[in-house]
């Protein structure tokens, strides 16, 4: 093979490689994934933001704006891994999501950005949601019971005393 033919062959191989990997393709961006998730950046096809139905409690996005329709996605990346999450986002065949995204599929870059976002928040542990609420409810209930007991103590004495005396006068309550 001549040097000129080898140069042409090399140029052809390099050209094919450049065409097969688009120059404009950018790596996944977890910040853009978060913006898509919360809705500050809209999906290209107009689908609803994930936060409309799902929370990520480990990233302080739990139940914001009533986002409690779908499951919490704090551990989705840990549970399914990168390929699993990408597959879920590509398919979106859940009955409730199908109505929203059947005509509005996510683009490849949107899916990649969301996967990167889920990967970035996967280390965060979900806080004990509700544990403080239970403690507060128990404290308020105890205070309420003490208050009602203190206010009603005299009233109970005033009602109970005549009933006890009436029972004693009628020989144990028999008339």
Mean pLDDT value across residues 122-131: 56
* CA quadruple 3, 7, 10, 14: dihedral, nearest 10: 170
| 43 pLDDT higher than 60 | yes
Angle formed at CA 15 by CA 10 and CA 17, multiple of 5 degrees: 95
Among 112-116, 117-121, 132-136, which is the least confidently predicted range?
Answer: 132-136
Angle formed at CA 153 by CA 148 and CA 158, multiple of 5 degrees: 135
User: What single DSSP character describes residue 70?
Assistant: S
- Residues 49-103 have pLDDT tens digits of 988 888 887 666 655 544 567 888 888 899 999 999 999 898 887 888 888 888 8
What's the distance, CA 154 to chain centroid?
A: 51
Q: What percent of the chain has pLDDT over 90?
A: 18
Closest CA to 36 of 46, 26, 24: 46
Burial (CB < 10 A; 0-12, 13-18, 19+), residue 76, is buried
Q: Are 44 and 114 in contact (CB under 8 A)?
A: no
Highest mean pLDDT among 66-70, 103-107, 124-128, 162-166: 103-107
Q: How far is CA 84 from CA 15, 71, 126, 170, in A?
A: 33, 16, 20, 81
Q: Are 39 and 49 in contact (CB under 8 A)?
A: yes
Q: Which residue has the tokens 């290209």?
A: 44
- The 10 Å Cβ neighbour count of residue 127 is 13
| 141 pLDDT higher than 60 | yes
Q: How confident is the model at residue 110 (pLDDT cuts 50, 70, 90)?
A: very high
| 129 pLDDT higher than 80 | no
């Amino acid at each position: 093979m001549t040097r000129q033919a080898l140069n042409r062959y090399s140029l052809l191989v390099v050209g094919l490689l450049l065409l097969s990997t688009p120059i404009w393709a950018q790596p996944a961006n977890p910040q853009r994934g978060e913006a898509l998730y919360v809705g500050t950046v809209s999906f290209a096809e107009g689908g609803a933001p994930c936060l409309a139905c799902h929370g990520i409690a480990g990233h302080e996005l739990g139940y914001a704006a009533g986002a409690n329709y779908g499951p919490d996605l704090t551990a989705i990346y840990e549970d399914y891994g990168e390929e699993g999450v990408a597959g879920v986002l590509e398919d979106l065949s859940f009955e409730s999501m199908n109505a929203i995204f059947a005509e509005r599929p996510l683009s490849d870059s949107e899916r990649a950005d969301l996967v990167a976002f889920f990967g970035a928040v996967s280390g965060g542990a979900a806080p004990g949601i509700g544990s403080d609420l239970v403690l507060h409810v128990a404290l308020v209930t105890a205070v309420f019971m003490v208050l009602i007991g203190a206010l009603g103590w005299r009233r109970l004495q005033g009602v109970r005393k005549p009933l006890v005396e009436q029972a004693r006068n009628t020989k144990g309550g028999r008339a």
